Chains A and B, each alone.
Chain A
Amino acid sequence: MARIEFTLNREPVVYEGDAARRLIDVIRDDFGLKGTKEGCGEGECGACSVLVDRAVVPSCLYPVANVAGRAVVTIEDFRNTKRYQVLQTAFLEEGAVQCGFCTPGMIIAAEALLSKDPHPTAEEITIGLSGNLCRCTGYNMIIRAILRAAKDGDGLW
């Protein structure tokens, strides 16, 4: 039985249990944060993307032990930010959402990408999103949305 302290969505939290448990299960089942989705369980699809110390990680491959002392942010907290508002508007306007199952993960990946590079090219966006699968859109509308967010949110990242 491990005791793991970390911050989850800016709140200090304590997890007590199996240290090998997947971060996604802790987030969804213990903390009830269902915005993080499980699409494949093998780190291929990115629907489970969360931020750990601002970097995007697939929470389905991540043992909870790895977040000890670190800051985890999920869509439930990120959605309260100005950056999120800009991304949401861009996703809405550019038609970047269809079934929506990949979308929270895409938003998290976009945040990580824009944090590193506030003005990426389309090419850099495709690389930044290469860990996030979408089966509905063919990606172009998502890429356009992130280009638009980078422009409309100039100065936020």
Chain B
Amino acid sequence: MNDISASIVRCDAAAKISGRAAYVADLSIDGILHAKTVRSTIANGTILDIVIPPLPEGVVIVDHTDIPGENGVKIIFKEMPVFAETEVKYIGEPILLVCGPDKAVVEKIARKIVVTYKEEPGVFAWTTSKSHYAYQKGDPDHAFKTAARIHTETFETGYQEQAYIEPQGMIGYPEAAGKITLVGSMQCPYYVKNAVLGVIACDDDGIRVIQAETGGAFGGKEEFPSLTGAQIAVAVKKTGKPVSLIYERTEDVEVTTKRHPSKITLSAALDADFRVIGLKARVGLDAGAYLGLSGVVLSRSLIAATGAYTIAHLSVEGDAYCTNTVPTGAFRGFGAPQMFYAIEQLMGHLAALAGLDPVAYKRRHLARKNDLTSTQGVFRDPILLPAMIDTVLQRSDYKRKIRAFAKDDAWKGIGLSVFFHGCGFTGSGEATHIKARVRLEKDADDHVIVRIAAVDMGQGSSTALAKIVAGVLERPVATVHVPHPDTDTSPDSGPTVASRTTMIVGGLLARCAANLKEAWVDGMVQTAEERYVQPAFITWDEEAFKGDAYPAYSWGVTAVEVEVDKRTCAVTLKGVWSCYDVGKTIDAILAEGQADGGVTQGIAYGYLENMEIKDGRLKQRNLTDYVIPTASDVCPTDTVFVDNPFAYGPYGAKGLGELTLIGGAPAVTAAIENAIKRRITRIPATPETILELIEHGQD
């Protein structure tokens, strides 16, 4: 059989290149109404009055009074209203929709609506914890009592905007018997459906959700479309007409979820040899006005507290705080990038304290097979980090460069990060919450349709999953089709999140395809179904935060070389080298695309992408102010994938999508530190930050 990693041309690419692929804004429906959201202009207060100008024929206002069911968007809880009633909690909170046939008229009406408020002082300090977790391993008190020395530092990270190039969009239309269909740009069709059911108060077959071609998501279209889906469903219910809600960029940046700002204090207990024997971690995340997924994001941060290292004694706690700011949420890495930034920085600083090269120091602490994880689960599979570090050192010429840069008059630097990503939902989530199901349908022409809820948002899952199914069936890939999910025809294989699509959904499809192959009769219509069964070895105690947090771990090593301009303090990337263990790549080019795109986002998180907020108002509200990398900001990347097949993954595959982002920020930050000989404790390390460090920073 051919190697599954050998690349094929992705199945959706030609339609996308030629402009034929239809994204949600490209769909046209006769008689559609355009919707515009009227939002809170204050961070905290109550609505006293809403004055609506005379409405032209055909223009309709949709607000909380039109909601047939509950005014709460189910994410984990239902605390976020579909439309504000009296309270508003952040600038941009939706109050009502103006819907009408003429977009310009709708926008004009929306601008003329006057909302008066009783304003309260906004809460922006991190004082109100809405989610708290804590766990321990070993005997941290003893480790800190007996330590030769204790080193404590606090690290801070800023917002990061997903900046998918296609803004959020949702269309809804009525069907027979009161049924409402929603078509949108999204990661999780069943999240949208389940959120809307309670809002419309209808039976399970009253709502149908279809994923449109999705122009990037990166977590930003995980939970947010549940809100727009609910709003549009209410508008369709009220008007009986098709309604479209397409965000403009500024609105998208202002009101959609982003990566949580964090503040992480780490204390390391060191023995006389400078080895870390104990670690205390205290994590704070800014959840914004509503908790949303923040508790889950927090738990992933906390589980990553020790980074890629084994530390015997551990005390970890954290809180997600609600403030009167835009809600934060899912973003590629989901809490791990903040923690890995902090622990990698700490390890680098501890190495300096010990007078050792940071890579040599990190090597002394690397997690190994059969070690206990931070939560006292077991790393059951081989960990190839020592060889992966060697690969990156050799390909980047790290050792020569770090010596040469020390003597160089220019500000040149190189840094290396080591990291992992836990694949799939945390703990027993797959078995208790998701319970994924997949179905294969074979037609009389022996073509196979893959019925799943996993979406291709650009990462190439439809191609990767078609390859897995075709590979197991030993049929041509062209005979396997992965249509966009539609909740009326696709079983719930779970959300497209948590680096679970290839490993979990692909694993189920491989088993399903094996069953279909067994029963295969040429020319006969056949179906096969499969549902998730948790491997028996996984044990997880949610209350105690104890056991196997993930069924598998993907690992990475990234090195970044930079030069910092002595005059402007601008950072130029000179080289990026990475080595990843994702078990087995399902397609070499798709994997390289995930690697390149992920590391670019991760590096930019560390030095380029800057979003600030003052009194609940974001200072960067569009792609002119919020700078993401252009072609001129990147440099060539060098990527190596090592095979380390995971027994429960399809063809040995583990998770890929999020891993590649995680090492970027710590590697570029270490490189900048190496260049400017100053310690960085806050990202992004913008030129302003660097200048400040040069003038006042610590060596």
Contact = CB atoms under 8 A, between A and B. Distances in A.
Interface of A: 32, 34-42, 44-45, 47, 74-76, 79, 84, 87-88, 91-95, 97-104, 107, 125-127, 129-130, 132-143
Given A41-B249, A130-B631, A95 B592 contact: yes
Nearest to A99: B458
Interface in B598-634: 598-601, 622-624, 628-632, 634
Given A101-B165, A103-B16, 18 more contacts: A35-B20, A38-B167, A39-B166, A41-B250, A42-B623, A76-B19, A79-B18, A88-B18, A92-B14, A97-B16, A99-B165, A101-B216, A102-B165, A135-B163, A136-B597, A138-B597, A139-B596, A142-B631
A91 B214 CA distance: 19
Interface in B508-560: none
Contacts of B16: 97, 99-101, 103-104
B259 to A, nearest CB: 14
A152 B18 CA distance: 19
Given A40-B623, A44-B623, A135-B601, A100 B249 contact: no
B612 to A, nearest CB: 19
B249 A99 contact: no
A132 B18 CA distance: 17
Contacts of A132: 631
Given A138-B597, A138-B600, A42 B631 contact: no
B632 A130 contact: yes
A88 B14 CA distance: 7
A133 B630 contact: yes
A138 B637 contact: yes
Contacts of B593: 95, 98, 136-137, 141
A100 B215 contact: yes
A82 B167 CA distance: 32
B22 interface: yes
A31 B163 CA distance: 28
A72 to B, nearest CB: 15
B216 A135 contact: yes
B622 A97 contact: no
A37 B164 CA distance: 13
Contacts of A142: 631
B227 interface: no
A125 B636 CA distance: 13
Nearest to B598: A138
Interface of B: 7, 9-10, 12-23, 25-26, 28, 162-167, 213-218, 248-250, 457-460, 589-590, 592-593, 596-601, 622-624, 628-632, 634, 636-637
B167 A39 contact: yes
Contact of A125 (B164, B215, B631): B631
B599 A138 contact: yes
A140 B636 contact: yes
Contacts of B217: 99
Contacts of B631: 125-127, 129-130, 132, 134, 139, 142-143
Contacts of B20: 35
Contacts of B9: 92-93
Contact of B17 (A36, A44, A91): A91
Residue of B592, B597, B598, B631 most packed against chain A (CB within 10 A)? B631
Contacts, number: 174
A132 B628 CA distance: 11
Given A39-B166, A135-B601, A101 B215 contact: yes
A102 B630 CA distance: 12
Contacts of A102: 165, 215
Contacts of B25: 34, 37-38
A95 B589 contact: yes
Shortest 8 CB-CB distances between A and B: which pairs?
A35-B19, A100-B16, A99-B458, A101-B215, A138-B600, A138-B596, A95-B589, A75-B19
A79 B16 CA distance: 12
B596 A137 contact: yes
Residue in B19, B593, B623 whose Cβ sees the most chain A Cβ within 10 Å: B19
17 contacts: A37-B215, A38-B167, A39-B249, A41-B248, A88-B18, A97-B17, A100-B12, A101-B165, A101-B458, A104-B19, A132-B631, A135-B164, A138-B629, A139-B634, A140-B634, A141-B589, A141-B596
Contacts of A98: 216, 458-460, 593, 597
Nearest to B22: A34
B653 to A, nearest CB: 18
B622 A126 contact: no
Given A95-B10, A100-B13, A133 B628 contact: yes
Given A39-B166, A95-B7, A104 B597 contact: no
Contact of B630 (A34, A130, A136): A130
A42 B589 CA distance: 32
Contacts of A91: 13, 17
Nearest to B217: A99
B573 to A, nearest CB: 11
A44 B213 contact: no
A127 B632 contact: yes
A148 B132 CA distance: 53
B564 to A, nearest CB: 20
Contact of B165 (A93, A125, A129, A133): A133
B14 A95 contact: no
A101 B26 CA distance: 11
B225 to A, nearest CB: 15
A140 B20 CA distance: 24
A79 B22 CA distance: 16
Given A34-B22, A130-B631, A140-B637, A88 B600 contact: no
